[in-house]
Amino acid sequence: MVIDGILYGLGSFAGGVIAAWLTGIPLVAVPFFVFGAFCMYFFRDPDRTVPPGVQSVSPADGKVMAVKPEGSGLTRISIFLNVFDVHVNRSPVAGRIADVQYRKGEFLVASKESASVENEQNVVTVDTNEGSRVIYKQIAGLIARRIVFTKQPGDQVAIGERIGLMKFGSRMDVLLGPEWSILVTPGQRVTAGVSPLAERKQP
């Protein structure tokens, strides 16, 4: 479990105990306990194993909302995370982090197409070990207003390695070049670090 879940959970449980003690009504604590339990569930962080031979994996649990051309030969894969999905994010490819840019923006509902451009987001560029350049975005949503990224430019990352998280509903976009064949389709459910996202085309 991510430490945030423990802190939110314990804080909510403590609030419930205090509220019940001050009011003398034990049932007052129930909403605090329910919220605390949800926080601990939300911030779960299960171990994942990348399947052998996979070249790119989903960076997030969620539903594929779009697979669309983005210009300059790129294809954008958009994944929406609802509040019941695991929100720990993982690197879709192995390589070196070349650039990280945090962009201020709106907090539109993350499932909307316009969220890819207008919402606050963290844009990460990775130079893969095979010579490709892959870009992915951690995108804030209506409720998710804090993006956590634990890596720095120059860091080496393994495929499926944990790189951060987003809190309470959000979106991740992955931009892949023409050297990749996309393996997912809109409407498909994907699992971070497990579901194959794309594979490199044969030369």
Q: Which amino acid is at 48?
A: R
Main-chain dihedrals φ then ψ at residue 145, nearest 5 degrees:
-120, 15
CA gap 190, 202 in Å, rounded: 24
Please say if 56 is a catalytic residue. Answer: no
Strand pairing category for 162-166 and 88-90: antiparallel
Mapped onto helix, strand or coil, the DSSP state of residue 172 is strand
Return the H-helix or E-strand segment holding 15: helix 3-23
User: Can you give the C-alpha Rg of the chain in angstroms?
Assistant: 19
**51: DSSP letter:** P
Q: Which of 91, 170, 181, 195 is catalytic?
A: 170
**153: DSSP letter:** T
Give Cα separations from 161 to 31, 84, 139, 155 (angstroms): 35, 21, 19, 12
What's the angle, vertex CA 177, arms to CA 172 and CA 178, rounded to 5?
A: 135
Q: Which residues are known to be catalytic?
A: 170
